[in-house]
Amino acid sequence: MLTTSRKNPIRLAAVASFAVASTFGMAAQATDITGAGSSFVYPVMSKWSASYAEQTGNRLNYQSVGSGAGIAQIKEGTIDFGASDAPMSAEDLQKFGLGQFPIVVGGIVPVVNIAGVEAGQVKLDGATLADIFLGKITNWNDPKIAALNSGLTLPAGKITVVHRSDGSGTSFNFTNFLSKVSPEWADKVKFGTAVDWPTGVGGKGNEGVSQYVRQIKGSIGYVEYAYAVKNKISWVNLKNAAGNVVEPTAETFAAAAATADWASAKDFNLIMTNAPGDNAWPITATTWMIMYKTPKNAGNSKVAFDFFKNALENGQKAAADLDYVALPPELVSQIEAYWAAEFKN
Amino acid sequence: MSNTDQRGIVATTIDATNPSDMQELHSRRDARHERMFRWLLKGCALLVLAALLGAAGATLWGGRDAFATFGWHFLISDAWDPGNDVYGALVPVYGTLITSFIALLIAVPVSFGIAVYLSEVAPAWLRAPVASAIELLAGIPSIIYGMWGLFIFAPFFADHIKPWLTNNLGNQPDDGKLSWVAEHVPFIGKLFGSDYPFGASILVAGIVLAIMVIPFISSVMREVFQTVPTRLKESAYALGSSTWEVSWDIVLPYTRSAVIGGIFLGLGRALGETMAVTFVLGNAMNLSASLLDPGTSIASTIANQFSEAAGLQKSSLMALAFLLFVVTFIVLLIARLMLRRLASKEGR
């Protein structure tokens, strides 16, 4: 290489300066960690990693490839952490030597397009919502809906169900809630990232569902809270497990995370929907970070834990800006105790 | 450089001053180059074959669990139930075939019109700009067609076209009174009967696909129409033929096989189109006779579900991908057979 570039002083200079630059770069080189999985947390992960890179110089490369792919990649050990909207089972975690913990909370809201109906005006309970998505309640003037909405007369009109066409954590949590409140749903449809929807039309992504709901008069769908706010679609207030009608807000999402029974859930294997709190929003979701208990790359793993600690303790503002809710302090201390007990680092 | 090397080597056995020896040297070298060239070409062609077999084999291998679990039932079952892990390919396969069929039904006549206009009727100054506009259309990424379909065309269709179709042709009109057509023509009522109030549907997907494949088909047609010898056309005109008669009886028969080739090029694109269809097809896993109901296709099902799928669901998606290969292969086979029959009819 040197012999060829001798003829060309410019190239030689370029090579030399590159060599110098790379030695200097080495001296100050930061650790790059890689994570992959859930698209649900992607916006907040990018925001956290940007501010973390500013503070420490360590960069986080998060690939929003879907929970399934995230789990597959962490099992293969090609990334430092995986992120999944559905918790891994205790057996699977044990088999692969993995541990998991929640990182942030988000709310999923039913949204409707009914002429003259504003956000929060319609109230539904879980059983009625399930019957609508089962195709058993097909008109907005159904007596079951009217019984929950005294004082509000809904116009007669066919209900069109809009669901996600792609596999997603949003669908996972939404169908999980329906399974908990409707035995028929639990028996026939079950829950998962994709299910055999009894009725309706599928939109791709939160954007697709938002777009369909805005276009179709008399439709009902479900999206992450941020999309309902951003697209100005009317959300529905829900009756929670305690029997109170609650509005989707940061407080009710946090209440769900705080009142879910984390203490008795091994490896945080608990889906937060239908949480028991008086003020808890019933369709609240989290994403689990999945890591090796004995890391393959100890240096990277250490940085990853530092990143998560930073996110859990100082990331509230960034989360709130994006309509996520930071985990309540009690849960954060449980997670940190879990780290100390389970992970070798 | 290699020339001098070769000369140095062969000069020991062949007298360079002897012209016949020189000739032999040249012919030997030519033969060697010819061989190398042939291998190179063969390699290029085999690469395509290897890629095709590799992709088909990989999808078949990936889908082996699904085929082993469901057997032939996979092909005829309309279930797609990740909750209970039961999968069947009928709905996506039907959606793929019907949307592509609608696309061709619209695209072929329109493309023929465009090509005839550009090669026979249009003034010379208009031909080049319109031809390049068509080629530009072919270069638009499919996601743009999808977004246009979802945000603009589907709402327009739902507000202005669909009500007319359901009321005048469908079996579920708003006022409950069946039209004459729906009552007397079999199947029509079912095809256009729908109580879904929105646009995204099989018919809209077919129309969007048609717009996407028109540039492909019409540019092929235009190119081949220009190859028709002028004396054939002029003779026909001299005998008193109209432009239509020249196009239909002279130009089309002369270029038939290339035109069919162009149509199948468009069909190939329509069968595999993913993003645009995902946006406007409605993504509902139900089998409905109505063209105005939402449906799904093989490619859109894979695009929707693959990232979060695992286990048998993933295997079933791979099996679907293999079926798309098979469907495309069968369609091309039919095209070949059609061409052969046409050729034998003409006695060529």
> pLDDT by residue for chain B (348 residues), tens digit each?
444 555 445 445 566 677 777 888 888 889 999 999 999 999 999 999 999 899 999 999 999 999 999 999 999 999 898 888 899 999 999 999 999 999 999 999 999 999 999 988 889 899 889 889 888 888 899 999 999 998 899 989 988 998 888 888 888 777 777 778 777 887 888 888 887 778 889 999 999 999 999 999 999 999 999 999 999 999 999 999 999 999 999 999 899 888 988 898 899 889 989 989 999 998 888 888 889 999 999 999 999 888 778 789 999 999 999 999 999 888 888 888 888 887 777 654
Q: Which of B152, B156, B308, B315 is the mutation pick for testing A, counting most A CBs within 10 A?
A: B308
Residues in chain B: 348
- A167 to chain B: which residues are within 8 Å by CB? 82, 304-309
Six-digit token pair at B154? 């589907």
**In which residue are the tokens 């769908």 written?**
A221
Q: What is the pLDDT of residue B12?
A: 52
Distance from CA of A197 to the nearest CA of B (A): 8
Q: What's the rounded Cα separation, in Å, for the pair A147 and A123?
A: 10
- Are residues A165 and B82, on separate chains, in Cβ contact within 8 Å? no
DSSP state, residue B282: B
Tens digit of each residue's pLDDT (9 = 90 or more) over A288-341: 999 999 888 888 998 999 999 999 999 888 998 888 989 988 899 999 999 998
Condensed to tens digits (0 to 9), the pLDDT of residues B128-153 reads 898 898 888 888 999 999 999 988 99
**The pLDDT of residue A21:** 43
What residues of A are in contact with residue B313 (Cβ under 8 Å)?
194
Categorise residue B200: left if φ over 0, alpha if ψ from -120 to 50, beta otherwise. Answer: beta
CB contact at 8 A, B10 and B25: yes
Q: Is A286 on the interface with B (CB under 8 A)?
A: no
pLDDT for the residue B338: 82
Note whether B79 contacts A: Cβ–Cβ < 8 A: yes
> How far is residue A9's CA from residue A155's CA, in Å, rounded to a whole number?
81
pLDDT at B84: 86
Is the CB of B88 inside 8 Å of chain A's CB atoms? no
Using the Cβ of A95 and the Cβ atoms of chain B, whether some distance falls under 8 Å is answered with: no
- pLDDT number for residue B289: 86
- CB burial of residue B338 (10 Å; 0-12, 13-18, 19+): middle
CB contact under 8 A, A160 and B284: no
Task: Band the pLDDT of A266: cuts 50, 70, 90.
Answer: confident
CB-based contact, B278 to chain A, within 8 Å: yes
pLDDT at A29: 60
Side-chain-side CA neighbours of B76 within 13 Å: the count stands at 3
Is residue A217 within 8 angstroms of chain B, CB to CB? yes
pLDDT at A204: 85
Check CB contact of B202 with chain A, cutoff 8 Å: no
**Chain A residue closest in CA terms to B201:** A201
> What pLDDT score was predicted for residue B40?
95
A334 touches chain B (CB under 8 A): no
Which residue carries 């979060």 as its tokens? B308
Residue A191's closest chain B neighbor by CA? B83
Contact check, Cβ <8 Å, A194/B198: no
Please tell me the distance from the alpha carbon of residue B214 to that of residue B229, in angstroms, as a whole number: 25
The length of chain A, given as a count of residues: 345
Q: What's the predicted TM-score (pTM) here?
A: 0.81
- Distances in Å between the alpha carbon of B35 and those of A6, A272, B41, B45, B46? 40, 70, 10, 15, 16
Q: Which residues of A touch B172 (CB under 8 A)?
A: none
Task: Tell me which chain B residues have a C-beta less than 8 angstroms from the C-beta of A219.
Answer: 198
User: What count of Cα atoms within 13 Å lies in the side-chain half-sphere of residue B235?
Assistant: 8
φ/ψ of residue A234, rounded to 5: -75, 125
Least confident range of A13-17, A108-112, A136-140, A316-320? A13-17
Give yes or no for B294 touching A (CB within 8 A).
yes
Mean pLDDT of chain A: 87
CB contact under 8 Å between A192 and B279, yes or no, is no
pLDDT at A345: 63
Chain A hits for B279, CB-CB cut-off 8 Å, are: 204, 208
Is the CB of B307 less than 8 angstroms away from the CB of A200?
no
B104 burial (CB, 10 Å; 0-12 / 13-18 / 19+) is buried
A12: pLDDT strictly greater than 80: no
